[in-house]
Amino acid sequence: MNLRRFGIYCGIAAPLIWLSLISLAGAMRPEFSHSYQYISELGERGSSTEIPMRYIGFEFAGVLYVCFATALPASLREGWRSALVAVFIGLDGLGRVGAGVFACDPGCDGLSSSQELHRLFATTGFSSAILAAIACGIVFRGHAWLGILSVYSIGSGILAAIFLLLMTWDTNPIQTPGLFEHLATGVLSLWLLVFAARLSRAST
């Protein structure tokens, strides 16, 4: 297996591992609410799910995102357009790694430096993932075999952004921030999985 195909397979595996760890860690903590609590709380310092969520869910999956990003220029061969999408996906991966290295405080509402860095990296990851989906839809809309994903990619990025805005809206009448975060990461994870799977089929 060459490095390009390995990178594409990393893009398929990364969102599957991420979503699986959210489900697994949530199942390990019956008191955890996916509707009211943030995903980061599954990896908070001192929790029973800190180790698997931080080191597999955030860091390992994040490395896989970076590996996928490095394979994009050689897979797409579209010059700056490939590089643009690759940069955003790579920043998403680095944001995930950083969010794993710097765990949030219990409840993710502390004031420690680790908490602040966790928030910074998580925000970077989410923002980059949204930009990656939108950029992919725009720059590849006329591509021979990626154009079919154009509307889906842009829609995924916009929908995820809306969910994150609802998550942070203090006066939102639906006070379920965890639910909106889960929906946002679900939409973006599914988009990356579809994107990587499309690349895998086209590369056979």
pLDDT value for 197: 93
Q: Where are the domains of the chain?
A: 3-202
For residue 173, name the pLDDT band (cuts at 50, 70, 90): low
- 42-45 LR contacts (CB < 8 Å, sep 24+): 43/100, 43/103, 43/104, 44/103, 44/104, 44/105, 44/106, 44/107, 44/108, 45/103, 45/104, 45/105, 45/106, 45/114
Range with lowest mean pLDDT among 31-40, 49-58, 140-149? 140-149
Average pLDDT of the chain is: 91
Question: pLDDT by residue (tens digit) across 60-77?
Answer: 999 999 999 999 988 787
pLDDT higher at 46 or 1: 46
pLDDT band at residue 14 using 50, 70 and 90 as cut-offs: very high
| 99-142 per-position pLDDT tens digit | 999 999 988 887 899 999 999 999 999 999 999 999 999 988 87
pLDDT of residue 171: 64
Reading the block at residue 153, the tokens are 């990619």
Tokens of 104: 């949030």
Residue 191 contacts residue 153 (beta carbons within 8 Å): yes
How confident is the model over 16-30, as pLDDT tens digits?
999 999 999 999 999
Query: Residue 15: what pLDDT?
Result: 97
